[in-house]
Amino acid sequence: MEGFLVIDKPAGITSHDVVAAVRAVTGVKKVGHTGTLDPFATGVLPLALGRATRLIQYLDESIKVYDAVIKLGEATDTGDPTGEVIRTAPLPTQDADGVRKVLEDFLGEQDQTPPAYSAVKVKGKPLYAYARKGEKVEVKSRRITIHSLELGAYEGDKMELRITCSRGTYARVLADDIAQALGSAGHLCELSRERSGPFFLDDGLSMPKLAEMVARDPGHEWNEVMLAPKGGPRIPWAPRDNVRDALAPFVRSPIKALGHLPLVDVGAETAEIIRRGGALPAGPGGEGSRYLVVQADRLVAVAEMSPTGAKALRVL
């Protein structure tokens, strides 16, 4: 079983919890996510299964879409509802049209500094490890792009916002920056990732649905099925082969997941030569262009054109 599986992550569990659960129910040893979601956040969590974990770096996840709810008037140390309030301010006085004008100033390329409570590493340690000890460290800003900000419901101390942005954007930072621009303070109280590159929420498999596939008998809560404590009683699971068969329609092939790259088809004999370290066919683009070498519906290699010809980046 290899490919990409989109899980609609519920609030209250970590991305690692989801990875561990999918690894356990499928028996696939190598499972990895392509981009973490905070425990309070929900939505698209793409998982790579089996050899697809070797292809994560070639995905085009440059576009992210989030539905966010900003709590105005209060900023927290984490930028989300799990933190402590560190700053308060009056609620914005602008009406919806005034807010939209302010939002326009946030569009385009800009620098953004990752928040203190994030997994970005400095000297081998994640920033949240420093933050939990009260230690401050210097963090380099990153270049990000905000493609669009669509204002939804806006009433009282809540503002709904649909964010389309580049990879690496922290919605938690953006929420307080926007609130400050409105003369207030703010933090995310809800966040749902609707899209991560080629993966959309409509393609996602919910944990309750996954639990239905996994439980031998119906009628159990998903967390009882999927998150039983280690060493504790576990709801009986269906045979693993049955679970894999039920999951199969939700697993996207590597070729589809890497659909932004052009294809070069080869026959079975050439595919075997490539797998043994043989030469690859040239791609359709110039130097630096990447492409997929495929045999029927199977991915053989991810390749790139170099000054000396075709070069294998990854052979499966």
Cite the active site residues.
38
* Residue 4 near residue 251 (C-beta atoms within 8 A): yes
- For β-strands 85-88 and 74-76, DSSP reports them as antiparallel
Distance CA 106, CA 229 (A): 44
Can you tell me whether residue 53 is helix, strand or coil? helix
Residue 56 sits at the vertex; the CA angle it makes with 257 and 117, to the nearest 5 degrees, is 120
Write the DSSP symbol of residue 207: H
Structure tokens at 14: 């970590």
C-beta atoms surrounding 293 within 10 Å: 23
Q: What are phi and psi of 59, to 5 degrees?
A: -70, 150
Burial class (CB in 10 A: 0-12, 13-18, 19+), 91: middle
Dihedral angle, C-alpha 133, 138, 143, 147, nearest 10 °: 40
- Which amino acid is it at 209? K
Q: Which helix (H) or strand (E) holds 137?
A: none
Burial class (CB in 10 A: 0-12, 13-18, 19+), 16: exposed
* Residue 240 near residue 23 (C-beta atoms within 8 A): no
